[in-house]
């Protein structure tokens, strides 16, 4: 498999931008204030877990939006594939440090941390290609109907 310089530079620079945008956005989300509508849930921990997952997905989508616009306008026919690789690289870079964090240092149960981490990873990986595809579809690009590329 041959890796050319241009896609590697695009993936590297976009992954760095996506990571830092995600960090900037995620730290400003209302993690400590659970909305009142979550009181209708069965338990407080379930409501908190659901709220955190909404914040994970929303933060991932917000961080991916500027990168998706740039990829849609400049990514060529490989834009969706590039978006998927950028999302995967960013998810790995984001979640690898969590793998070394001992679960005993967290106050939440281990199963909750796994759900949280999995949702974050899926949100990071899927948000960018989804937004690129939606923007491409909306702008009527060559891949608008979801063709190869």
pLDDT in tens, 74-101: 877 888 999 999 999 999 998 887 666 6
Q: Look at residue 146 and tell me whether its pLDDT is greater than 60.
A: no
Percent of the chain scored above 70 by pLDDT? 81
b/e string for 67-80 if b means 16 or more Cβ within 10 A? bbeebbeebeeebb
DSSP structural state of residue 106: S
Helices in 27-103 by DSSP H: which ranges? 44-74, 79-100
3-class secondary structure, 148: coil
What does the pLDDT read at residue 105? 57
Percent of the chain scored above 90 by pLDDT? 40
24 half-sphere exposure, CB direction, 13 A CA radius = 9
Please give the average per-residue pLDDT across 10-38, as a whole number: 89
* First-residue to last-residue Cα distance in the chain: 17
Residue 44 CB burial class (10 angstroms; 0-12, 13-18, ≥19): exposed
Q: Kindly write down the DSSP assignment for every residue of 136-147, as one continuous string.
A: HHHHT-TTTT--
Q: Is the dihedral of CA 96, 97, 103, 108 positive or negative?
A: negative
What does the pLDDT read at residue 104? 52
Q: pTM of the prediction? A: 0.79
What average pLDDT is seen over the chain? 82
Residue position matching structure tokens 């949100």: 123
**Distance separating alpha carbons of residues 141 and 149, to the nearest angstrom:** 12
- Per-residue tokens: 118: 């999995």
Please give the average per-residue pLDDT across 53-74, as a whole number: 92
Strand residue runs (E) in the chain: none
What does the pLDDT read at residue 60? 94
What does the pLDDT read at residue 18? 93
What does the pLDDT read at residue 2? 62
């Amino acid at each position: 498999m041959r890796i050319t310089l241009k896609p590697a530079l695009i993936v590297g620079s976009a992954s760095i931008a996506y990571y830092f945008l995600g960090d900037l956005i995620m730290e400003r989300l209302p993690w400590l204030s659970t909305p009142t509508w979550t009181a209708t849930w069965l338990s407080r921990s379930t409501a908190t877990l659901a709220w955190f997952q909404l914040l994970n997905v929303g933060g991932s989508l917000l961080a991916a939006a500027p990168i998706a616009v740039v990829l849609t306008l400049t990514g060529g026919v490989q834009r969706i594939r590039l978006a998927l690789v950028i999302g995967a690289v960013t998810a790995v870079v984001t979640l690898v440090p969590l793998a070394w964090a001992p679960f005993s240092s967290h106050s939440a149960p281990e199963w909750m941390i796994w759900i949280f981490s999995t949702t974050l990873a899926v949100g990071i990986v899927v948000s960018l290609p989804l937004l690129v595809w939606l923007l491409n579809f909306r702008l009527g690009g060559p891949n608008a109907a979801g063709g190869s590329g």
